Each structure stands twice: as C-alpha cells, then as structure tokens.
C-alpha cells in the first residue's frame, strides 16, 4: 500500500476524486461546518459516504475534525491550513470545468 504514486496528477485526483469530495470541500472552503450541516447541504449523500469521505480528507490532511465532548456530541469540520493550499487549485479547476461545460453545451454534436 505504500506505493509511490507515479503521476502527481493522479495524487490530486485521488484526494479530490470521490463522488462527494469536491462538494464537501466546496462547503468547507466557505466556513467550518458540522456533520449535520454537511448532510443538509448535500442532500443526496448517504451518511456512510459522508463519513468515509470526511475520514479520507482528514487523513490526507486537508481538513480538520474537532470533537466537542458535549451531549449531544458536536463535531466540526474545517479546512486545515494545508487544505487552504487547495483553494487556488480548486479555482483553476473550476475555471476550466466551467468553460468545458459551456463548450459541451454549445456543440453537443461534433
């Protein structure tokens, strides 16, 4: 499992590339969110996938998980210092993606 990823692009795709990860990050880039908030903001995600993707992102170091030992429990997720380095990357991706979507709309048949 400790395999050096060949191409750094694949690394990024691995970090961002779950079905819901871009959307999770998108919301966390705006502000810290609780687990419940994310569930509401991303209505179609299942609890399993939300938790799993949050764990993945935490493990990659891009988000932080803070537990408040209250009752009922409160868990906050936020972009880490390091995770903020993703913001300019996300902007570049967004720009290209938006442009690409427009392009595809214009010429559905090539």
Partner DNA sequence: TCACTCCCTTACTTTTAAGTATGTACCGTA
Partner DNA sequence: TACGGTACATACTTAAAAGTAAGGGAGTGA
| Closer Cβ to DNA, 31 or 47, answer by number | 47
Q: 3-state SS string over 44-64?
A: CCCHHHHHHHHHHHHHCCCEE
Indicate the angle between helix axes 21-30 and 86-106, nearest 10 degrees.
120
- Name the minimum Å distance from CB 46 to its own copies: 17
Question: Which are the contacts of 43, defined by CB distance < 8 A and separation ≥ 6?
Answer: none
34 contact, one of DNA, its own copies, none, CB 5-8 Å limit per kind: DNA
Interacting residue ranges for its own copies, rule: CB under 8 A: 2, 4-13, 15-17, 22-23, 26, 59-61, 82, 85-86, 88-90, 92-101, 103, 108, 110
């Amino acid at each position: 499992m400790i395999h050096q990823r060949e191409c750094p692009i694949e690394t990024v795709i691995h970090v961002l590339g779950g079905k819901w990860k871009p959307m999770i990050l998108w919301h966390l880039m705006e502000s810290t969110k609780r687990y419940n908030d994310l569930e509401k903001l991303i209505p179609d995600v299942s609890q399993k996938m939300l938790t799993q993707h949050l764990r993945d992102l935490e493990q990659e170091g891009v988000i932080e998980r803070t537990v408040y030992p209250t009752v009922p429990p409160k868990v906050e997720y936020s972009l880490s210092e390091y995770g903020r380095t993703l913001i300019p990357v996300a902007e570049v991706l967004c720009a290209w993606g938006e442009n690409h979507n427009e392009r595809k709309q214009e010429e559905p048949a090539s």
